[in-house]
Structure formats: C-alpha cells, structure tokens
Amino acid sequence: MPIFERSRSGVTTTLAGGTFLRSAKPMVATADNMVAMMRAAGQGRAGGLKLGHNSSVSAGNLRATLMSWHEAHPGVEVDCVEADRSVLLAGLDTGEVDMAILMGAAGHNGFRCETLWSERMLVALPASHALAERDLIHWTDLRSERFHLPVADPGPEMRDMLLGRLSVSGTKPDIRMTQTSRETVLSILGGSSGVSIVCEGSTGAHYPDVVYRPIHGEQGPALIGYSGCWRDENSNPALRRFLGFIKARYALSFDFPPRFE
C-alpha cells in the first residue's frame, strides 16, 4: 500500500499513509523517550540508588544531604535501608546496598570507606533533670549518670564513646543496654532517672518531657564522625553521581577509582 503520492505539484500522503503516520508518531516519541531515559540513567541522572544507614535521619547532615540530592536529582529514586552495621556491610557484599553511611569510623576488607562529615553529640535527659537547666553539658557533669542505650545501632558506638570519655581510675560509667529501639529508649526517658546519648541527626524527633543538650569536652563540642562505604566494582551510575555530589557538598578530598571518573 503506497504511503505517498507523487505528482507535478509535489508529494502528498495517501489516505492509508495519513493513517500510518498518525499511528507511527507515538511510537517514534516513545522510542525517543526510551533513548533519553537510558542516556539519563547512564549518566546517573535517573534510575535508582539504595543507601544504607545505621543512624537517625530526623535531622543532621544525612537528612540535609538526602533532601538536597532529591531536589537536584528528582529522576533518581533513593531507597533508604536502616539497619545495623553488620547487615549493611553484608548488603554491600551482595550488591543489595549501593552505599552504607555509618556512624563512627568504618573499615572493611573489600570495601572502599571514606570519612564524610562530623556531627555534634548531645545528651537526652528528662526535662525535670537538674542538668536540663543548662545550655550545654560537659563530660565531667555526666560521670555519675545512668545511661540507657539500645543494643542495636548506634547504641554500641555510643557505649564505646562513653567508656572512652567517662572511665576514670578503673571506674566505668553506669551504662544499661536495652533490647529496645532508639525511639523506645527516648520515649520512656522522660519518666526515668537516667539519660541517653544521641547524635545531632536524632534531634529532629521530639519526645514527651525529654530535652537535648549539647556535650562539650576540653576541646569544645563533642563530635562523632560518619563514614561512607561502597564497593569499587559497583557500576551503578547513580552511585557515581552521588559520590561526586557528596564530595562537592562537603569539600572532601577522596578520589574515585578510574571506573568512577
């Protein structure tokens, strides 16, 4: 069936040709969209990214990073996984997690791990506590307190920090590790005589009769670092772009291996 008719006046479509072209236009547009989508995915501007973390994202740098990333890259769907460090590292090993952002120093054979940023440490205490009247708390003010921490992350990281800061002459701080979540510890803290330790990323969530106060040491605010871990052989373009985004945002100095350039 001819699509075009030629005559001395030019080329025109036949009746069948007009029907064919009207049907073909959406197909061509769909193909163009598919090419554009694949190009965007290859450049890390579309697709998916799975990020693991073992700390709260109610506030702090991780939340701010995710919000800014979404605004700059709306085509990349970010799926966050909150779990203990061991689970996230296992996810990196199997490819189920593209990058794990962990509280504290991180290092594991087979993974690339780099320091990302630091956040303030705060003490969470009942509003009726005597220390709640202060604007900031020093480590020395906390030596006689009873601390409640979750067994799950980031409880062990906080426990190690307390042991390093508050152990004096063989006397260790009173630390109670509970089989509850971070949220449960803070939810019931207002009615107890104990305190807890949180990172800045946890302070966006508020609990009845609980207040947060920054902790200071001899050198100023108490800080804890965050690290990022990923597999060098991960070929997800969205991960490459996210690493470049973090590097620029926090003026970091780590370099990508050749396959990430």
What backbone phi and psi angles, to 5 degrees, belong to 220? 115, -155
Q: What is the pLDDT of residue 37?
A: 45
Instruction: Answer yes or no: do 105 and 234 share one domain.
Output: yes
93 close to 110: Cβ distance less than 8 angstroms: yes
Do 215 and 160 lie in one domain? The reply is yes
Residues 158 and 218 in one domain: yes
Instruction: Please check the confidence at residue 26 and state whether its pLDDT lies above 70.
Output: no
Residue 185: phi and psi, rounded to 5, are -55, -45
Do 157 and 85 share a structural domain? no
- In this prediction, residues 55-61 reach a mean pLDDT of 92
β-strand partners of 197: 123
Report the C-alpha gap between 222 and 213 in whole angstroms. Answer: 11
Write the pLDDT tens digit of every residue in 121-148: 999 999 999 999 999 999 999 999 999 9
pTM of the entire predicted model: 0.77
Q: Total domain count for the chain?
A: 3
Give me the domain span that covers residue 65: 47-117+225-260
Would the CA dihedral through 79, 84, 87, 90 be positive or negative? positive
- Amino acid in the structure at residue 173: P
Q: Residue 10 has what pLDDT?
A: 81
Specify whether 57 is located in the same domain as 134: no
CATH number for position 197: 3.40.190.10
Please check whether residue 55 is in contact with residue 202, taking contact to mean a CB–CB distance below 8 angstroms.
yes
Same domain, 15 and 56: no
In 3-state terms, what secondary structure has residue 70? helix
**196-231 pLDDT per residue, tens:** 999 999 999 999 999 999 999 988 999 999 999 999
Query: Could you tell me if 128 and 208 lie in one domain?
Result: yes
Distance CA 103, CA 121 (A): 12
Question: Are residues 215 and 183 part of one domain?
Answer: yes
Q: Which residues contact 54 (CB under 8 A, 6 or more apart)?
A: 82, 83, 84, 85, 88, 100, 102, 103, 153, 154
Exposure of 171 in the CB half-sphere (CA atoms within 13 A)? 7
Co-location of 199 and 127 in the same domain: yes
